[in-house]
Structure 1
Amino acid sequence: MFIEERDYRIKTGKLAIFLEAYETLGLPIQTQYLGRMIGHFTTDIGELNHVVSLWAYDSLDDRARRRQAMFEDRRWQDYLQATTDLIDVQSSRILRPSAFSPLR
């Protein structure tokens, strides 16, 4: 299993707008194509206005296939258009569970 950690720094004052757009426009599409959300979080202490999502994949090829299918869906393009001006910085990391991790 691989876990993708996606981190978005949202522009100041735009977090609630981003979360609403994600919940109504982005999440249904991601759930359809990506399938296995592990969690979705916002920061409360430390650097604020961050959104972190975790998605599980069987392999990097599985991730690539799922994300490609999602990108080909017009609804995903509409979601990206609706949120582009709300995001300041975004990053992505691929995590592999260690042998003793409860998530394997």
Structure 2
Amino acid sequence: MIVDLRTYTMVPGRLKAFLELYESEGLPIQRQHLGEPIGYFTVETGPQNQVVHLWGYESAADRERRRSAMESDPAWIAYRRKSAEAGNVQHQENKLLRSVPFSPL
């Protein structure tokens, strides 16, 4: 299993706006292509104004296939444009995690 761990740091004061736009417009498109996320969180302690989410894939090839389909979806392209214009995200970091044999996932 591959887990895509994504951390987005928001412009201070823009977290709520990001979550509202994402929940109403971005998440439905991602669910269509990627399925349900493993988890979607806001940071309570440590660096503030962050959203952390995890997506699971069978393999790197599975991730590439699903994300490529999503990236070519006109609805996703429109959402990304709208999200960028809103100016909510300050920084993004992605990590691909590979499960070890004794991992419960």
TM-score (norm 2): 0.94
CA deviations on 1:8-41 (whole Å, 9 max, x unpaired) are: 0011000000000110011000000011410000
- Separation of aligned partners in 2, 1:76 and 1:19: 16
| 4+ residue runs over 3 A deviation | none
Consecutive unaligned residues of structure 2, counting only runs of 5 or more, are none
- Trace 1:38-77 onto structure 2 (pairs within 5 A): 38-77=38-77
Structure 1's unaligned 5+ residue stretches are none
**Alignment partners' CA distance in 1, 2:46 and 2:97:** 22
Q: Tell me what 1:100 maps to.
A: 102
1:8 equivalent in alignment to 2:8: yes
| Inter-partner Cα distance in structure 1 for 2:17 and 2:23 | 10
1:51-103 C-alpha deviation (Å, 9 max, x unpaired) = 01100001111111111110111111111112221110001110011222111
Per the normalisation by structure 1, the TM-score is 0.95
1:37 is paired with a residue whose SS is coil
3-state secondary structure, aligned to 1:6? strand
Counterpart of 1:55, as a letter, is W
Query: Equivalent residue for 2:93?
Result: 91
